Amino acid sequence: MTQLLETRGVGKTFGRVTALEQMDLVLSQGEVLGLVGQNGSGKSTLLKIIGGLVQPSSGEMLLHGKPVRLRSQSDATMHGIGMVHQEQSLVPNLTVAENIFLDKPNAAKAHGLYRWNRLFDAAAAQLRKIEIDIDPRATVEDLRFAQRQQVELAKVLAVEDLVSHPPIILFDEPTSVLTPDEIRLLFRQIERLRQTAAIVFVSHRLDEILHISDRAVVMTDGCKVADEPVTALDRESLYRLMVGRQRTIRAPRAVETRPAESLTPRLDVTGLSTGRQVRPATLAVAPGEILGLLGVQSSGAEEFCRALFGAEDDVHGTIRLNGKQISVTSPAAAVQAGIGYLPANRHVEGMLKGRTLVENMALTFGLDYGHRGMIVNRRAERRVASEWITRLRVKTRSADARIDDLSGGNQQKVVLGKWLLSRRLQLLLLDHPTRGLDPGARDDLFAVIRSEAAKGLSVIFIADTIGEVLDLSDRVIVMRDGAMSAEYNLNRGDAPSEEDLVRAMV
Ligand SMILES: Nc1ncnc2c1ncn2[C@@H]1O[C@H](COP(=O)(O)OP(=O)(O)OP(=O)(O)O)[C@@H](O)[C@H]1O
């Protein structure tokens, strides 16, 4: 196999934080390298260095055997290195075609100006290449999230046609926001690319790593701790290498530990509908119950949760919390009533950028720890935030670090902590809470949710996978086309097969 890229002793420090240490890695043409590691272990940093976005603090990189210094992302692009980011990198008010060629300075241009027809034709060819039917003239902000993700892929894969040598394509957790169909399409592209390119694929889903990769590299605290062909690995051994401990298998919750049904429901919803996607729904959730919602995208599950949080327009129906009717006209009203919501898109809705971990965590319920009326007790806030930072194993140098400086998965934990530290929280709505979490962190999160539920917190959660729903929930409701299509009470012994659930979903 031809060696395309080599990193020799590459390291990166951010102030006092060492993100990457002495990384030696070889990438060859025709191979898919699966990169795994706990949240904050340095995977994104390594990818960003290879992709030209971050400059290493030490070590060197060789491309086709020659030392190279990549000064920017477009420098990397011109060397045939493309990267699909965890967050989308498109410019919303430009067309699809402009976005695809934005970082390719000379494409479809004459005297520095676009030749529009040529640009649109070239973009159409790139979209066709990856079997995507999107108008290259459309403005990106008018596209749905999933379509934007596809444009992102087209943009990156356009580097194939830019260089005469084999490209290097980096995927940083590409599947966490994709539906199963979109993942299949992505994997088809990776199989096609495998013929010519070298690929690095980061995912927290170990099954995906084992399925698509030839080799797996495991990182811990910025160091490479294993580099093995996937044929020598299975789910368990990969988990152990990553997390450093064996998986704890959940003991089934005994039925009698569940709250009696005669209790006033924590949440009682009658005829709740939203103008666009949810048809009138009636449901009750008991105190301490964990209800899993399953559905394909556009099933209405997300909108249902957002409606409960006052974040949807045109909501009808009645919502009772602990028997009392409440009017959830805005997220502020929902918070006031004791309802929390972890959004799937934490970067847009969940996080205060530029602020510290404590500020983010104390944002909503800081006043719970105030004394003498409205005066906030900063010391108490800090103490409680620090307790949750420890409990959720957030990897940070300090509670006063800026949230921006944390890895994606650790940011997710902070946004969740913001709700969990509340003393008044009655109902927590979790929209894809495990997105971006490594498998160990996911198990930790489930343990925390179970323990809070045992203390009485009611939880409704939308999971990434059927396995997660079955793992965490007491009861599962499947939604299809805005209505509830099936219900299974796992604590009462219902044991739906994956096939049952999929049938109810589609
Ligand atoms: N710009 C930055 N400033 C300060 N620290 C940073 C910065 N970027 C990353 N770090 C730190 O470097 C370490 C590695 O982060 P990185 O994002 O590479 O982890 P990761 O393995 O990709 O994590 P995740 O799985 O959560 O995405 C973390 O401790 C993170 O806080």
pLDDT digits (tens, 9 = 90+) for 347-380: 666 788 899 999 998 877 655 665 555 566 778 8
3-state secondary structure of 354: coil
H or E stretch including 321?
A: strand 315-321
CB of 364 shorter than 6 A to ligand 1: no
For ligand 1, whether the C-beta of 14 sits within 6 Å is yes
Is the CB of 193 within 6 Å of ligand 1? Answer: no
Give 405 Cα–ligand 1 centroid separation in angstroms.
Answer: 7
Residue nearest to atom 16 of ligand 1 (CA): 42
How high is the pLDDT of residue 373? 55
Q: What is the pLDDT of residue 255?
A: 40
pLDDT at 483: 86
Give yes or no for residue 37 CB within 6 A of ligand 1. yes
Instruction: Return the axis-axis angle of helices 145-157 and 116-129, rounded to nearest 10°.
Output: 100
Q: Which of 171, 200, 404, 407 to mutate to test the pocket of ligand 1 (most atoms within 8 A of CB)?
A: 407
> Would you place residue 234 in the very low, low, confident or very high pLDDT band (cuts 50, 70, 90)?
very high
Which region, left, alpha or beta, applies to residue 118 given φ > 0 means left and ψ of -120 to 50 means alpha?
A: alpha
Report how far ligand 1's centroid is from the alpha carbon of 406 (Å): 5
Atom of ligand 1 nearest to the CA of 46: 18
Q: Band the pLDDT of 111: cuts 50, 70, 90.
A: low
Ligand 1 near 40 CB (within 6 A): yes
Mean pLDDT of the chain: 87
pLDDT beyond 60 at 256: no
Average pLDDT over residues 182-202: 90
Nearest Cα residue to atom 8 of ligand 1: 405
Burial 82-113, CB ≥16 within 10 A → b, else e? bbbbbebbbeeeebbbbbbbbbbeebbeeeee
So what's the pLDDT on residue 366? 59
| Whether the CB of 407 sits within 6 Å of ligand 1 | yes
> Does residue 503 register a pLDDT over 60?
yes
pLDDT of residue 257: 43
Which protein residue has the closest C-alpha to ligand 1 atom 27? 408
* Digit-coded pLDDT (tens) for 120-165: 999 999 999 888 889 999 999 998 877 888 898 899 888 888 888 8
DSSP class per residue in 333-345: HHHHHTEEEE-S-
C-beta of 395 in contact with ligand 1 (< 6 A): yes
* Ligand 1 pocket check for 11: Cβ under 6 Å: no
Contacts of 503 (CB under 8 A, 6+ apart): none
Q: How far apart, in whole angstroms, are the C-alpha atoms of residue 421 and residue 388?
A: 7
**Pairwise pLDDT comparison (260 vs 400), residue with the higher score:** 400
H/E element holding 254?
A: none
Q: How many residues comprise the chain? A: 506
Which residue CA neighbors atom 20 of ligand 1 most closely? 40
d(CA 459, CA 181): 28
Closest protein CA for atom 17 of ligand 1: 407
Q: Tell me if 44 CB under 6 Å of ligand 1.
A: yes
Say yes or no: CB of residue 77 within 6 Å of ligand 1: no
Cβ(17) – ligand 1 distance below 6 Å: yes
Asked if 463 contacts 292 with a C-beta cutoff of 8 angstroms, the reply is: yes
Q: Kindly give the number of the ligand 1 atom that is closest to the alpha carbon of 410.
A: 26
411 lines ligand 1 (CB under 6 A): no
Ligand 1 atom 2, closest CA? 405
With a CB cutoff of 8 Å and minimum separation 6, the contacts of 227 are 215, 216, 217, 218
pLDDT digits (tens, 9 = 90+) for 376-415: 677 888 888 899 999 999 999 899 999 999 988 899 889 9
* pLDDT recorded at residue 348: 61
Give distance in angstroms: CA of 274 to centre of ligand 1.
39
Give 200 Cα–ligand 1 centroid separation in angstroms.
18
Query: Does pLDDT of 275 surpass 90?
Result: no
- pLDDT for residue 22: 93
Residue to mutate, 12, 347, 405, 414, ligand 1, most ligand atoms under 8 Å from C-beta: 405
